[in-house]
Structure 1
Amino acid sequence: MTQSALGSSMPDTQLAASAEFQVPHPSSYSVVKRAIDIIGSVVGLLIVALVFIPVAIAIKLDSPGSIFYTQERHGLLGKPFRIYKFRSMVEGADSLKSQVENQAQGLIFKNKQDPRITKVGRFLRRTSLDELPQFWNVFLGEMSLVGTRPPTADEVSQYSDHHWQRLKVKPGITGEWQVNGRSTIKDFEDIVLLDLRYQSVWTPTYDLYLILKTLHAIFAKVGAF
């Protein structure tokens, strides 16, 4: 559903799908999935505590600005939340986005040689260390360990009906997209198909399988840039 269909007076932070897509996927209220998320997020936050000082020092020495990057994203049923990452780009990178070529197709932004990414930022991205603070989002229940890539407000404002279906699950730190090509997948429609496939085959066991595949992708640096 496009933004015009939602009503031009509706602010970006209140974007929502039609009633047809307001029924969440069973994974979003699964007790087992939430238990896995809590355990995983606690472990992840312990890792954050271990690496925080060296990562923070590296970020500060490489580029002036904050240690963390925050941005409004849209999660389950389009609900807005603030995502947390270690900063991998120059301060104020969002305001420079229009100056960078989008090498992806559709409602996603990718550029392999994005000039906004710092030297330390490229290392953080290749190792996925920049993603670690999202364990706090998982602990709060805004995200899950496994789910969809959380879109930005400008992306959601252009969604068609079938795009909204991907937001019937919580956004995840990892998911089908990350373990099946990650940054090498540059067509948004391919990502949507992977997200919908995840919904059709989901079980708590499948989540554990994707988590293991993610660990392999991280250590093998599969599809990362």
Structure 2
Amino acid sequence: MYQTSLTAYVRGGNSSTWKLQPEPHPSATSKFKRCLDIVGSLVGLLILAILFVPIAIAIKLDDPTGPIFFDQERYGLQGRPFRLRKFRSMVNDAEKLKSLVENEANGLFFKSKNDFRVTKIGKFLRSSSLDELPQFFNVLVGEMSLVGTRPPTADEVSKYQIHHWERLNVKPGLTGEWQINGRSQVRDFEQVVQLDLQYQKKWHPLYDVLVIVKTFRILLGRTGAF
């Protein structure tokens, strides 16, 4: 859907002048970044192997009706769809209950601080970001990066305006400008887009290392998460 629609977006004389570049952002082809992703994902998968059993047991004890993992289609570099996997942090069939939750964010993404669908263990997994450990598989195979943009859902992409597409010139990341600049306290989608474009302008190989270090500091402080 997304890649097909891109052929219609060309620069012209009107206000709709944004488009994905013919070539991806340099970060998507950086050998250093890819090596960093591979090393980081292997470390992350080792942590996942150690914590998998206790997390799986906790999820099942808290809500035995649902699976351990939550899978969802997301869109990555230049609109390529992929399956993102997390530890389940919500009740079973949470997507069917989404319409009953008040969205506290503005624009094309969904955030709610008091989401009744989140389980007790789910709140801990989210605040500690342990729910995202399975995404190291996505990083290892190259669908994601350690640092990048937040991967949008199909529902979000279907509502994108032309200038939103440019944020997908980089791979989606486990962390990024959004996470180190307020995380869930940032509730305006246009601000998220600006942070994503800011990352593209500021990026150099060692900048990812800086973002990762800042992310660890934030996680240790447990700030900006819900």
1:61 aligns to 2:61 (yes or no): yes
What TM-score do you get using the length of structure 2 for normalisation? 0.92
Q: How many residue pairs are counted as aligned between the two chains?
A: 214
Deviation at 1:25, TM superposition (A): 0.5
Where does residue 41 of structure 1 map in the other structure? 41
Equivalents in 2 of 1:128, 1:31: separation in Å? 27
What is the match of residue 211 of structure 1? 212
CA displacement at 1:23 relative to structure 2: 2.5
3-state secondary structure, aligned to 2:112 = coil
TM-score, structure 1 normalization: 0.92
**Equivalents in 2 of 1:16, 1:199: separation in Å?**
23
Where 1:132 maps in the other structure, the secondary structure is helix
Partner of 1:99: 100
Q: Summarize the alignment of residues 8-157 of structure 1 with structure 2, pairs less than 5 Å apart.
A: 10=1, 16-17=5-6, 18=9, 20-21=19-20, 22-64=22-64, 65-157=66-158
Percent identity reads 62
Cα shift at 1:196: 0.1
Runs of 4+ in 1 over 6 A off after TM superposition: none
> Which ranges of structure 2 fall in alignment gaps of 5 or more residues?
11-18
Report SS of the residue matched to 2:114.
coil
Q: Distance in 1 between matches of 2:4 and 2:85?
A: 21
Match of 1:179 in 2: 180
- Once the 2 structures are TM-superposed, how far is the Cα of residue 91 of structure 1 from its aligned partner? 1.1
Residues 16, 47 of structure 1: alpha-carbon distance in 2 compared, 3 angstrom cutoff: farther
Q: Could you say which residue in structure 2 is the equivalent of 1:221? A: 222
- Separation of aligned partners in 1, 2:41 and 2:96: 31
Q: How big is the shift at 1:94?
A: 1.2
User: Which residue number in structure 1 is paired with residue 203 of structure 2?
Assistant: 202
